[in-house]
């Protein structure tokens, strides 16, 4: 479809997001002849494209590369007729059907059913200079940028599985990796925590946070100011005037591994329910339906708990099946309405 046809057609289903949830929804919707349009936003392929090896996706006993899994999923969806279009949704008008999706390039897409599979993006910590240095020695993706830090001393911020994974990956390149965690207890799973703790090149700085990043776009990251307090969460204590220790360290790279925020800004002014953290809320029970009839949620955007590739694929397939049933119900209702009108 060219741009004009895309804008002039009322689509059966548009899937926003091309990560594992969006792809799984696309395979199911395409096989149901719904000719889905998949919108690939600013991070095409989603979080899996930033992962090296996926060891826990069913059916790959030797593991599979994240990028490979996504590419295969895209080919699978295309084989059944799903169409992929670049574009981020700026605004969604969901008060009337067909729904209208305004894209950042100015185009508008109309659709009867909408599957939101926009996932979540890396969270930033709010350190001084992070806007300036993101991409210049500061990164949210060790697998993307780790190889630039051969022989460097690097910091990893965070205490969850992402931070452990980043630290373990970086230890292949960096001279030393220091995990900076704001408390004295990791949130990471036992297995990941053990792997990181047992690694010779990985050290931990407990009860410590990153206050400021030193460097410039020309020189990259050259150091950082860390703050610590024996009771943890030192930045909060700074604000309340408590005695917090400051230390400057020389480092060549800093990696954030502090979790993710759901990509739901475009839904804020709609009747789709979002929780306090912005996660899309589906209705009670095992369904992907939302508070707006015809809008369905799938993957990390609606899942603050499991956040696994395999669960995202599962909810993606559910969203497509739910959308298909809903579209069939709409068709039956409109046929009945036409029959009543004809009788009158």
Among 16, 109, 258, 327, indicate the residue that binds ligand NAP (CB under 6 A). 258
Instruction: Give the residue among 320, 269, 288, 294 at the shortest CA–CA distance from 102.
Output: 269
The rounded distance, in Å, linking the Cα atoms of 49 and 144 is 9
| Chain-centroid distance, C-alpha 219 | 30
Q: Residue 127 in contact with residue 211, Cβ under 8 Å?
A: yes
**Binding segment toward ligand NAP, per CB under 6 A, in 29-37, 146-154, 186-194, 199-207:** 186-194
Residues 6+ apart with CB under 8 A from 259: 122, 123, 158, 160, 162
Identify which of residues 31 and 195 has a Cβ nearer to ligand NAP in the complex.
195
Known catalytic residue at 322: no
Identify which of residues 89 and 211 has a Cβ nearer to ligand NAP in the complex.
211
Q: Which SS3 state, helix, strand or coil, does residue 157 take? A: strand
User: Helices (DSSP H) in 80-186: which residue ranges?
Assistant: 130-133, 142-145, 161-170
| 189 makes contact with ligand NAP (CB under 6 A) | yes
| 229 makes contact with ligand NAP (CB under 6 A) | no
Known catalytic residue at 269: no
CB of residue 84 vs ligand NAP: minimum separation in angstroms?
Answer: 26
Q: Show the beta-strand stretches assigned E in 58-192.
A: 64-65, 83-86, 89-93, 99-103, 108-116, 120-122, 138-139, 153-157, 176-180
| 307 makes contact with ligand NAP (CB under 6 A) | yes
Identify which of residues 258 and 267 has a Cβ nearer to ligand NAP in the complex.
258
DSSP state of 39: E
| 209 makes contact with ligand NAP (CB under 6 A) | yes
Identify which of residues 163 and 320 has a Cβ nearer to ligand NAP in the complex.
163
| 234 makes contact with ligand NAP (CB under 6 A) | no
| 149 makes contact with ligand NAP (CB under 6 A) | no
CB of residue 306 vs ligand NAP: minimum separation in angstroms?
Answer: 7
Extract the tokens encoding 289.
């339906």
Which residues of this protein are in contact with ligand NAP, per CB under 6 A? 123, 125, 157-163, 165, 182-183, 187, 189, 192, 209, 257-260, 307
Annotated catalytic residues are: 141, 144-145
């Amino acid at each position: 479809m060219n741009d004009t046809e895309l804008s002039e057609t009322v689509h059966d289903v548009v899937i926003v997001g091309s990560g594992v949830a969006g792809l799984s929804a696309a395979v199911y919707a395409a096989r149901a002849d719904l000719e889905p349009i998949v919108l690939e936003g600013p991070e095409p392929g989603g979080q899996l494209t930033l992962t090296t090896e996926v060891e826990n996706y069913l059916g790959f006993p030797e593991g599979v590369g994240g990028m490979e899994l996504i590419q295969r999923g895209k080919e699978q969806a295309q084989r059944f007729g799903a169409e992929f279009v670049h574009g981020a949704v700026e605004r969604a008008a969901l008060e009337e059907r067909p729904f209208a999706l305004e894209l950042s390039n100015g185009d508008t897409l109309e659709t009867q059913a909408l599957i939101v599979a926009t996932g979540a993006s890396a969270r930033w910590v709010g350190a001084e200079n992070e806007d300036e240095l993101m991409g210049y020695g500061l990164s949210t993706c060790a697998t993307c940028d780790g190889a630039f830090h051969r022989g460097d001393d690097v910091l990893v911020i965070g205490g969850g599985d992402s931070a452990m994974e980043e630290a373990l990956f970086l230890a292949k390149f960096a001279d030393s990796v220091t995990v900076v965690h704001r408390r004295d207890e990791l949130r990471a799973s036992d297995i990941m925590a053990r792997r990181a703790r047992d690694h010779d090149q990985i050290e931990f700085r407990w009860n410590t946070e990153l206050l400021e990043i030193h460097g410039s776009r020309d020189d990259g990251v050259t150091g950082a100011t860390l703050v610590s307090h024996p009771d943890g969460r030192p930045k909060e204590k700074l604000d309340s005037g408590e005695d917090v220790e400051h230390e400057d360290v020389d480092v060549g790279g800093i990696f954030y591994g502090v979790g993710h925020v759901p990509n739901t800004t475009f839904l804020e002014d709609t009747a789709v329910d979002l929780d306090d953290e912005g996660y899309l809320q589906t209705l009670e029970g095992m369904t992907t339906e939302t508070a707006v009839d015809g809008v369905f949620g799938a993957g990390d955007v609606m899942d603050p708990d499991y956040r696994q590739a395999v669960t995202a694929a599962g909810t993606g397939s559910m969203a497509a099946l739910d959308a298909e049933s809903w579209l069939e119900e709409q068709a039956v209702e409109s046929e009945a309405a036409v029959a009543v009108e004809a009788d009158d």
